[in-house]
Chain A
Amino acid sequence: MHKTISEKILADHAGKPEVFPDELVEVRVDFAFGNDITAPLAIEAFRRSGAKKVFDKDRIGLIPDHFVPNKDIASAVQARMLREFAKEFDLRYYFEVGRMGVEHALLPEQGIVLPGDVVIGADSHTCTYGALGAFATGVGSTDLAAAMITGKVWFKTPHSMKFIFRGKLRPWVGGKDLILYTIGQIGVDGARYRAMEFTGEVIDSLPMSDRFSMSNMAIEAGAKVGIVTPDSITEQYVSSRAKRPYKFYQSDPGATYEAVYDWDISALEPMVALPHSPENVKQVTEIANTPIDQVVIGSCTNGRLEDLRVAARILKGRKVAKGVRCLVIPATQLVYMEAMEEGLLEIFIEAEAAVSTPTCGPCLGGHMGILAPGEVAVATTNRNFLGRMGHVDSKVYLSNPAVAAASAVLGRIAHPEEVLS
C-alpha cells in the first residue's frame, strides 16, 4: 500500500508494517515534555498514579517558558515544581531561566526533537516539529503523565490532507503568510483531527524558520500535525545539532489524501489575521490604516533569528512611532546571543523597542506586555482569540515580522514597502 509520511512514522513506532486512517495505535514516544503551565498538572497526575520512576530520563523535557521569569508568587511555585521534579528524576532536559527558550524554538534548535520522531508535548503548538518531518502533536497533561511513566501514547491515525504551494514568493512574504492564507481558506476547523502535509516548489525552497512558522500554526486549523517532507534544507539544519540518530520519511507517490489543495501563491501579499480568529485573514493592504498601540515580535511562531533579521531590516535607522510600544522577544538564549553578535539588538534598542529575555509572556496574555481595554496590538504570535493578550476589549492582529516592524514604525498596520520606499 502507498502511505503518507505520517502513516509511515506511526507504523514504525507502533511496530507494525502499516497503519490505516482511523486505526487506533499505541506508539513509542521519542520525546515528551511539558511547560510551567501544563507540567504541574502532569506532575500531580504522575504522583497520584503512584509511579516511582520515569520511562527514560533522557527523553522527557521540562521547560519553564510561559510565566517565567516568574511573574508572580503562584507562578514561582509552579516553576519550582518543574525544577524539583527534574532534580528528583535526574532529567537531562530541564532548562532553567538563563538557559531556556520558548519550548518550540528551543527543542529543535538544540537538536532534541528530530526528523522521524514521534513527539508529544503538553502544549498545542508541539505540532511545530512537523517542519522537521516528525509526527509531533499536543496533548493534555494527563496524557503527558502517562507517557512519562510508560514511554507510550495512543493515537487515532489521522487522515491526511495535502497542500501544494506553487509559484514564487513575493518580497516580504514567507511561511507565516502561507499558513495564515491556508487557515483563511479552510477555517479554524478545516483540518480538525487531520495531518496537514505541506508540499510543492515553494515549500521545497523554504528555509527552516519559515517551515517552523507554518507547522506551528497547523493547530490553528484544528490539525493534529502539520508535516513537511525532510530534505537537504532539513539535513543542513539538523546534522550539526542532533543529539540522537534520526530518520527521514517521505510519502509514497499514490498515497491517499482526504483532500488536496493546489494553490499558486505568486500573487500573495503579506497576510494579517484580524480579531478574534486566525481564520479572519486579509491582505495587509486591505487594513493598512488601522491604528495600533503595541507590537510584539517573538514567540514560538516567529521569534527565531531569521525573524529578528527581517524586523531589523525595517527598524534600522528608524524609530518606533510615538505612542506605540514595540516588544522584541528573542525566542531562545541562543537567538538572543546571535542577535546581539549580529548587531540586531542594537538596532532594536536604537529604534526605541524594548528587548526582553526569552518568554512566551504576552502571547497568551501572561505577562510582559498585557493590553488595556480598547488597545490594539500587531503580533507575530499565533492566536488572536478574544482576550488572548489581555483585556477582553483589546484586539490582536497576527502578522509576519516584517509587517509587525513596519507597523511599529508607522503606528498603524502597514506594508513593509510603505516604510522602505
Chain B
Amino acid sequence: MKIQGKTWKFGHDVDTDAIIPARYLNTTDPAALASHCMEDADAAFASKVKPGDIIAAGKNFGCGSSREHAPIAIKASGVGCVIATSFARIFYRNALNMGLPILECPEGAERIQTGDELEIDLDSGVIENLTRKEKYRAQAIPPFMQKLIKAGGLMEYVKEQMSERA
C-alpha cells in the first residue's frame, strides 16, 4: 500500500483540542469535523489541505483527550498518513481503529518540511522524500493492519471477518 502527497508540518505536542476543538464536538459527521480540522493550530488548514496530503509533526502527536473525532477529522480532510516522532497513546490506537495510517519516524519527522512531496510504502515502512531526495525508515505496517486500514477501520474490518466466516 503506497501513499503519495504533499506535507503539512506541525510542532511538538499537537493536542486533540488543536486537531478538533471541543466546541465542534456536538456532531459526529466526518465532513463537518473535517471542516474544522487543525483549526486552532492553523486556521486555514481545512481550506488548504488536499486529498492525499500528509501531516508531519514532532513528539507526542494527539495528546490530550480520547476523542475519536480527532483521527476522524484528519482522515475526512483527505490526509492519507500522519508521520510523527511519537504519538500519544490513546490517539495512536484511535487512529488505527479509524483506518488512518500513522507512522512513528523520528528522523523523518525532523527532516520533513511543509511542502515536501513524499512517497510512503506502508509494506516496508520506507518514507521517500521526493523533494529532498532522502529516505527515512519507519516500522512497516503489518498485513492485518493494512487490511484493517483498507476496510476503513476496526468495525468495518470486524464486519468483513464476520461475513467471511458466514
Cα(A142)–Cα(B159), bound, Å = 13
B129 to chain A, nearest CB (A): 25
Asked whether, in the complex, the Cβ of B17 is within 8 Å of the Cβ of A141, the reply is no
Residues of chain A within 8 A of B88, CB atoms compared: 189, 192, 222
Chain A residues with CB under 8 Å of B66's CB are: 38, 121-124, 126, 138-140
A contact residues around B18 at 8 Å (CB): 385-387
Query: A135 contacts the other chain (Cβ, under 8 Å)?
Result: no
Write out, one digit per residue, whether chain A residues 314-332 have a CB within 8 A of any chain B CB (1) or not (0).
Answer: 0000000000000000000
Bound state CA distance, A45 and B92, in angstroms? Answer: 18
Judge if B153 is at the interface, Cβ distance under 8 Å. yes
| B40, A71: Cβ atoms closer than 8 Å | no
Instruction: Categorize the interface residue count of chain B.
Output: 35 or more
Residue of A nearest to B69 (CB): A41
Does residue A258 face the partner (Cβ distance < 8 Å to B)? no
Q: Contact check, B17 vs A386: say whether CB atoms are below 8 A apart.
A: yes
CB under 8 Å from chain A, chain B span 56-78: 59-60, 63-69, 72
Question: Which segment of A72-80, A207-215, A338-346 sits at the interface?
Answer: A72-80
Say yes or no: is B149 at the interface (Cβ < 8 Å to chain A).
Answer: no
Across-interface contacts of A126 in B (CB, < 8 A)? 66
- How does the 8 Å CB contact mask read for A121-150 relative to B, with 1 for contact and 0 for none? 111101000000000001111110110000
Instruction: Establish whether residues A74 and B27, one from each chain, have CB atoms under 8 Å apart when the complex forms.
Output: yes
Chain A residues with CB under 8 Å of B40's CB are 386-387, 392
| B window 72-101: CB within 8 A of A | 72, 86, 88-90, 93-94, 97-98
The CA-CA distance from A171 to B67 in the complex, in Å, is 37
Q: Ordered nearest first, which 6 A-B pairs have the shortest CB separation?
A: A140-B94, A74-B26, A189-B60, A364-B22, A138-B66, A140-B68
The residues of B with any CB-CB pair to A shorter than 8 Å are 13, 15, 17-18, 21-23, 25-28, 40-41, 59-60, 63-69, 72, 86, 88-90, 93-94, 97-98, 153-156, 158-159, 162
A-B residue pairs in contact (CB < 8 Å), sample of 23: A37-B25, A38-B67, A40-B28, A41-B68, A48-B159, A49-B158, A49-B159, A50-B159, A71-B26, A72-B26, A78-B26, A123-B66, A139-B93, A142-B155, A188-B13, A192-B86, A224-B89, A383-B64, A385-B15, A385-B64, A387-B21, A387-B40, A388-B22
